[in-house]
Amino acid sequence: MPSTISLRTSLGLTRQTERIPPRFDGLLALAAAVIVFAALLASWLTGGFTIDLPWAPSLDLRLAFTLDGLGALYALLASGVGIAVFAYSIRYLPLHLEHMKRPLRDGRSFYALLVLFMVSMIGLATAQDLMVIFVCFDLTAVCSYFLIGFDRSEAEARWAALMALVVTGATAVLLLLAAVLLYAELGTFSVPELAARAQPGPTLTVAGVLIAVAALAKSAQVPFHFWLRRAMVAPTPISAYLHSAAMVAAGVLVLGRLYPLLAPTQAVLDGLVVVGFASALVGGTLSLAEDRLKPILAYSTVSQYGYVVALYGLGGAAGATAAAFYVLMHGVAKSALFLTAGAVIEAAGGEDSLRRLGGLWRSMPVLAGASLVAVAAIAALPLTLGFFADELFFKAALARGPILTVVAVAVATLTFVYMFRFWSRLFLGPARAEGTPLAPGLVVPPALLALVLLVGGVAVGPFEQLAEAAGRSSIGAPAPVEAAYHLDLRATNLLALGTFALGGVGLWLEPRLRPALEAVGGLGARLGPERLYTYGLRGLNRLSDRVHDVEVRDLRSRVAAVLLPGAGLLLLGALVTPWEGRYRVGAMSLDDLGLVAGLLGAAAAAVATTRPKEHLGLALTLSGTGFALAAVYALLGAPDVALVAVLVEITLSLLFFVTLARLPAGVLRREAGLRLPLGRRVRDTLFATVAGLSAFFVVWSVTSTPKPSNPVAPELIARTDDAHAKDVVTAILADFRALDTLGEITVLAAGLVALTTLLRLRSA
C-alpha cells in the first residue's frame, strides 16, 4: 500500500476527470450483473425456482439449488451490489491500472474473477446440498485470493491474498469435515433433509462447532478478524464487493442456511453470542483507533458482522430474521462507504489518512450526501433502513435480559461514534487536502446505493418481507418481525435514543481519548492473533524446507536406509513362511535351455556392473542387464513386454550417453579415479548383498508355488475379437483397461509439466 500511495502522489493524479473510453470487458460484466439481478428478482417475485440434478447418485450428491428467502436475499444482494461495483469499476479500474503501470487488458481478468465470484456467491446462496455449499464456499475463497492479490507486483498484496486464502480456506475444510460427519450419521448431504433428521447429540454438537468456526473465519470474526484488515490492499471495488456484501457475508450466510443444524445445541448458539459481541466490540474499538479510510471500514465490517453473528446466537425467529435484515442493510451501506472511500482516495491523490483529509464536502457534495446516508444507516438513524435493523437488534437483545441489552447498547454506541467520526473527519472541518472534482462514474454508484437505504427508511415493506422470507428459510417456520416507526416510549425506542445520546458524548470524548485509542490499536497489532498466523506460517515454511532437505540432499542414504530394513523384513518373511512346496527346484527340459542362458546372461551382466570404473562402461553394462532381461521376456513368450523393455533400455542408454557427452571430460575422469572410503564400500556391498538375497528368495518362493489360475485372462482373450483387435496386450492397454492407461499417461504429462516448470524456474 505505501508504494501505491507514493506512486499515486508522484503522478499527481491529474488525469482524474479525463475521458477514458470504457472498455468492453467492464460493460460486459455490468450487463451480466444487471441481467442476473433482473432474472433473480423476477424469479423471486414469481415464487423462486428449484434446480435439482443428480451429481454423484451413488453418494446421494445432488446439484440442488433453490431460490428460497435466504437464497434470494443473498443472491439479490450479491448481484445488486455487483451492479454498483461493476459500474464503479468501469471508471475506477483504468485509473488504478494506470497507477500500477499495468496495461488496460489486465482488466479482463479483474472482471472475469469478479463475475466468477458473483456466480459462486449466488450458487452458495441458493445451494441446498452440503457438498455444493462447500464447493461454492471454497470457490469464493479461491476467487478472493486472486482478487485481493490483484496487484500482484506488490509484496503486501500477495501476503494479504495468501492470508485470506489460508485463513478462510483452511477453516473451510472444517465445513467439509462437518458435512462428512453429518453424512455418516444421517446418511444425506441434503440440507432440508438434514434439518428434518437432525437430533441433538454429540455428532450434531461437533458438526455445529465445525460449521460455526468455518463461518466465523469467513466473516472475519474474532479471532480471525486480522485477515480482513490486511485484505484492504486490494483495489477499492474489490474491497467494496468482497468485504461488505459478498465474501464476508458468505460466513453468516452459511450460519443462516445451516441454522437448523446449529440451533439444537445451546452451547453453539451461546458461543455465537459471545464471539459476535466480542467481534462487535473489538472491531468497533479498532475501527475507532484506525486512521486510514479502508482499514476503518474493514474493522467496521468485523464489528457489523459481529451484530449478525450475535443475532443468530440470540436465536429464535426474531434473531434469524433480524440477522438477515441486518446483512441486507449492511451490505448496501458498507459497499457505498467503500466506494466513497475509493473515490475520495482517488480525488485526494492517494491520500487515505483521516488526519490529513477533511472538508471535502465542498468539492464533492453529492458524495458527501450519499455517504452521510450510508453512515446514518449503519449508525441506525431514523429515516434510513438501518434504524429498523437496530430496532430488531435491540428487541432480540432485550429478550435475553439486561446484561446483553447493556452490551448491545455499548456496541451500538461504538458504531455510532466510529461511523460519524469517519464521516465528519472526511467531509467537515477545514479542507486539508486538495480535492479534484470527481467523475460521475465514481459518484453515481454509491449515490444509488444510498438511495436504496433512504427508500428502505421510508418504505421498509419489501425489505422486511425479504428478511422474513430469509428468516423462514433458516428457521423452517414463519418468522415475522415488525419493522415500523412507533412514536412512543417503547423500550427499543428508548434504547435507540440512549444510543444516540451516548454516541454524541462519545464523539465529543473521542479526540480527547485519541492517545489511549491509538495505544489500544497498537497493542492489538502487536499482540493480536495475527502473530500466531505469522509464526504458524513461518513454522510451516521451515518444516517444508526441512522435509525438502531430507528428500533432496540425503535421499541416497535414505534409500539405503529403507532398502536394508525392507530387504531384511522380506528375507525374514521368506524364511518363516512354511517351506513346504516352496523353494523347489523343478524339472528342466531342453526347451528351457535358451531361457536359462538368458537368465545367466542377465546375472552375469548384473555382476559385471560392479566392475567398471569409468562412466560410459558402467552405463553400457547396466543396459546390458536390461537387454538380457528383455531377451528373457521374449523367450517367455511375451513379445510386447520384450519390445517395450528393449525400447526403454535403448532410450535410457542413449539418454545416459547424451548426459555423459555434455559433462566435461576432466570431471568424469577425476570422478572415475576417486576411490570410496573403505567404510562406504563395505556398507554398500552389505546393502546390495542383503537386498539381492532377499529378492532371490522371494522370487524363488513365488515361482515355485503353483500359479493361481487367472480367471480374467481367457475372458480378455475371448473379448479381443470384439475389440476388433488381434493383439491382446494392445487391446488391454488401449481398450479394456484404457482408463488405467489414461491415469498413467496423465501422471506422465503432469511430470512433464512439473519438470518444465521447475527447470525453467531454476534458470530464471
Partner 1 sequence: MTLPTQTLARLLLAPLLVLAAGMLVKGYTDVGDGFAAGLLAAVGFVLQDVAFGQRRAESLLPVRWAYRLALGGLGLALAVAVAPMLAGEPVLKHRPEPGVSPVKVGTLELITPVLFDVGVCLLVLGTVVTGLHLFAHPGEEEEQRS
Return residues touching partner 1 (CB under 8 A): 639-640, 643-644, 647-648, 650-651, 654-655, 657-659, 661-662, 719, 721-727, 729-731, 733-735, 738-739, 741-742, 745-746, 748-749, 751-753, 755-756, 759-764
* Length in residues, the chain: 764
- 633: nearest Cα among 729, 717, 748, 731: 729
CA distance 75 to 479: 20
Write down the least CB distance from residue 731 to partner 1, Å: 7
Interhelix angle for 247-257 vs 316-347, to 10°?
170
* Residue 714: CB minimum distance to partner 1, A: 17
Within 428-484, residue ranges assigned H as helices are: 440-458, 461-475
The span from the CA of 165 to the CA of 146, in Å, is 9
Bridge partners, residue 127, by sequence: 65
Grid coordinates belonging to 79:
448481484
Alpha helices in 478-513 (DSSP H): 491-509
The residue among 336, 330, 361, 334 whose CA lies nearest residue 347 is: 361
* Contact between residue 170 and residue 147 where contact means Cβ atoms under 8 Å apart: no
Q: How far apart (Å, rounded) are the C-alpha atoms in residues 432 and 74? A: 39
CB of 557 to partner 1, least distance (A): 25
Q: What are phi and psi of 690, to 5 degrees?
A: -60, -45
Shortest reach from residue 746's CB to partner 1, in Å: 7
First-to-final CA distance of the chain: 27
C-alpha cell belonging to residue 265: 445445541
Q: Where are the alpha helices (DSSP H) in 553-677?
A: 555-576, 593-608, 615-635, 639-662, 665-673
Map 703-730 to HEC letters. HHCCCCCCCHHHHHHHHCCCCCCCCHHH
CB of 615 to partner 1, least distance (A): 15
Q: Which is nearer to partner 1, 406 or 753 (CB)?
A: 753
Closest distance of CB 711 from partner 1, Å: 21
Please, what is the minimum distance in Å from the beta carbon of residue 657 to partner 1?
Answer: 5
Residue 223: cis peptide before it, omega within 30 degrees of 0: yes
Minimum distance from residue 719 beta carbon to partner 1 (Å):
8
Residue 15 vs 719, nearer CB to partner 1: 719
Which of residues 659 and 704 has its CB atom nearest to partner 1 in the complex? 659
In the complex, the smallest distance separating the C-beta of residue 753 from partner 1, rounded to whole angstroms, is 8
Give whichever of 66 and 720 is closer to partner 1, judged by the CB atom. Answer: 720
Shortest CB 726 distance to partner 1, Å: 4
Looking at the Cβ atoms of 507 and 723, the one nearer to partner 1 is 723
Closest alpha carbon to 486 in 476, 494, 477: 494
Whether the upstream peptide bond of residue 264 has omega within 30° of 0, thus cis, is no
- Give the shortest CB-754-to-partner 1 separation in angstroms: 11
Nearer to partner 1 (CB atom), residue 693 or residue 734: 734
Of residues 28 and 733, the one with the C-beta less far from partner 1: 733
- Written as one letter, the residue type at 440 is P
Q: Which is nearer to partner 1, 12 or 751 (CB)?
A: 751
Contact 517, 286 (CB under 8 A): no
Q: Which residues, at least 6 apart from 733, have a Cβ–Cβ distance to it below 8 Å?
A: 741
Contact assessment for residue 568 and residue 695, using Cβ atoms and an 8 Å cutoff: no
Q: Report the alpha-carbon distance of residue 709 to residue 40 in Å, rounded.
A: 63
Q: How far is the CB of 645 from partner 1 (least distance, A)?
A: 10
Q: Are 71 and 473 a contacting pair, CB within 8 Å?
A: yes
Helix, strand or coil, per DSSP, at residue 302: helix
146 vs 736 by CB, closer to partner 1: 736
Nearer to partner 1, 487 or 739 (CB): 739
**CA angle in degrees (0–180, nearest 5) for 11-12-17:** 110
- Least distance between partner 1 and beta carbon 732 (Å): 9
Distance, C-alpha 707 to centroid of its chain: 52
* Residue in the structure block whose three cell numbers are 455428532: 203
In the complex with partner 1, the residue whose CB is nearer, 166 or 652, is 652
- The owner of cell 451500538 is 412
In a 3-state reduction of DSSP, which class is residue 219? coil
Adjacent-strand bridge partners of 62: 54
Q: Report, in Å, the least distance between residue 720 CB and partner 1.
A: 9
Cβ contact 323:69 at 8 Å: no
Taking the least distance from each CB to partner 1, the nearer of 431 and 733 is 733
Which CB sits closer to partner 1, 672 or 723?
Answer: 723
**CB closer to partner 1 out of 57 and 708:** 57
Amino acid at 263: A
Q: Which is nearer to partner 1, 494 or 738 (CB)?
A: 738
- Closest distance of CB 532 from partner 1, Å: 39
